[in-house]
Structure 1
C-alpha cells in the first residue's frame, strides 16, 4: 500500500483512501479496547495530528493527552477532545513536564517520519510508568518503494526499519516486545484494487464510489476489515507491536 501524504484524517469526508482510513481507524479502535481492558488511565497519543484517534480513545473512557509537531492540526484536536495537547518536535524538544507518568502510550505510523527514531523512543520510555505498555506501529519494509536514486517514494518517510532492526531499537530504549498484530486484509484488498485499475475493470472513481465515507460507515467497515489481528501478519502494510517498559 503506497500513499504519499504526511498524515491520515479518516473523517475528512473525502471519498478516497478507503484502505488507509480503515487501517488508521482500526489501530485506534484496537488501542481503545486494549487500554480500557487494562483498567484505563492516562494515555499519551504521540503524533496525534488532528485528534481523530484521541477522540476514539476518549470515547472508551481513557484520559488522553496528545502531542504533535503541527500546531494547526492541534487546534482541531483541541476542539474535538477534552484532553491536554502540546506542540512538540520529538527530535529537538523535550516533553512538557506534565506529559509524564503515563499508563499507556500509542505511537502509530510516526517513527518512520523521523531521522532518528531512537530519540523519540527514549523520550516515550521516560514518560511511561514502569511495567506499562506502549502500542507502536511502523511500516513493513517489504512494502516501502524507492526511486532509482535510492530516495523513498514517500517523501515523508525518512527511515525504513526492518523488523529485526526495530526489535533491537525498542530493546535498547527500554522496551520488550509482548505481542504483534497486523492488518493484512486491508493490504490484500488494496492489491485487488490496484489489479482492477491496471486491467481497466474499474476506475478509481468507480472504486471510491463503492463505499460510504461517513464516520459511522467507516467505523463499521473498519471493524470488519481493519481491526488488527493475527492473520498473515508478515503481509500487513504495517506491524503493530505491544511493548512493555521493563526499566
Structure 2
C-alpha cells in the first residue's frame, strides 16, 4: 500500500510556562501559529474595534475559544467573562488570560446565565442550529442594562464560498449568510442594528489587487516561489491590514459585524 501523508498538526508556539498549547482544528482560530496569522488578525481587528466601544461595561464574550479576544476586551471593559464549552480551550484561556477583570466560565452559549451590559458573539453564529433562540437569549442577558448592546459577526457567504454556492466547504458551518440575510436575522430580534463590513487594507489590499489585475497567483506558481512567499507574507500580516466600514458595499465584505440594541 502506498504511504498516506498525515495532515500536518499545527500547535501554538512559545506559550507561557504552565499554559498548554492548543492545536489548530479549523473550528477556531489561534494566535501563535504563523500559518494561521491571516485568520487570527482578521478576528483580532474586530475585537480591537469592539474594545473601543465597551469601555466601563460588563461584557460576556460568548464562544471565546482560545481567550485572546476576552483579554483584548478587558483592556477597556469593567469586567469580561469569556464563555466556552470546550474543556481544552477553557483551561488554556483560564491559565493564560485571567486577570483582575477577565475571567472564564466553561458553559454552553445556550445556558450561560449572567446578566451583562454587552454580549459579544464573533464568528460563531454560522456554527449554530438555533440562531433565533440564541439572539433572543442574548437580548435577555443585556435587558436590564442601561447601555445594552449585542455585537455579532459572521463571514460573508459571497466572499467565503465559491460563486453561486450556498455554503463554503467549512465542515463546522451550518449556515452562511448573505448581507441581507444577516441583517434580517438581527433586525428580527433587535430594534436598532448597525451593520459594518470588514475589508482588506494596506498590504492585503495590494495583494488582493495583484491577484485580480496582475494574475499574481499564476506568477508565483510559475516561478515556484509560492511557499517561500507566503511563509514570509502570512506571518507579517497585522490587524491594520483590515478595516471596518459601514460605507462600502457589503457584498464585497469579508465579514459582517452587527451592533444590535434592543
TM-score, length-normalised on structure 2? Answer: 0.74
2:172 aligned residue (132, 152, 156)? 156
Could you tell me which runs of 5 or more consecutive residues in structure 2 were left unpaired when the two chains were aligned. 1-24
1:95 aligned residue (90, 109, 112)? 112
Larger Rg: 2
Structure 1 residue 167 corresponds to structure 2 residue 186: no
Bigger relative CO (Cα 8 Å, ≥ 6 apart): 1
Q: Which residue of 2 aligns with 1:6?
A: 27
Q: Which residue of 2 aligns with 1:31?
A: 50
CA 1:161 to 1:149, structure 2 compared with 1: closer, same or farther past 3 Å? closer
**In structure 2, how many angstroms separate the alpha carbons of the residues matched to 1:228 and 1:169?**
20
Post-superposition Cα deviations, 1:2-28, rounded to whole Å, max 9, x if no partner, equal xx811111x22x221333222111001
C-alpha RMSD over aligned residues: 3.0
Q: Which residue of 2 aligns with 1:196?
A: 216
Q: Which residue of 2 aligns with 1:85?
A: 104
Residue 146 of structure 1: CA displacement?
6.0
TM-score, length-normalised on structure 1? Answer: 0.78
Q: Which residue of 1 aligns with 2:130?
A: 116
CA 1:236 to 1:184, structure 2 compared with 1: closer, same or farther past 3 Å? farther
**In structure 2, how many angstroms separate the alpha carbons of the residues matched to 1:145 and 1:212?**
24
Residue 47 of structure 1: CA displacement?
1.0
Post-superposition Cα deviations, 1:74-132, rounded to whole Å, max 9, x if no partner, equal 11111212333223333xx4223xx21x1112111010011221121111111113552
Q: How does 1:40-189 map to 2 (within 5 A)?
A: 40-79=56-95, 80-82=97-99, 83-90=102-109, 93-96=110-113, 99-100=114-115, 102-129=116-143, 131-145=147-161, 152-185=168-201, 188=205
Do the aligned residues in 1 keep the contact of 2:157 with 2:168 (CA within 8 Å)?
Answer: no
Q: What is the number of equivalent residue pairs in this alignment? A: 226
**In structure 1, how many angstroms separate the alpha carbons of the residues matched to 2:107 and 2:206?**
35
Do the aligned residues in 1 keep the contact of 2:122 with 2:152 (CA within 8 Å)?
Answer: yes
Q: Which residue of 2 aligns with 1:225?
A: 241
Could you tell me which runs of 5 or more consecutive residues in structure 1 were left unpaired when the two chains were aligned. none
Secondary structure of the corresponding residue to residue 53 of structure 2: helix
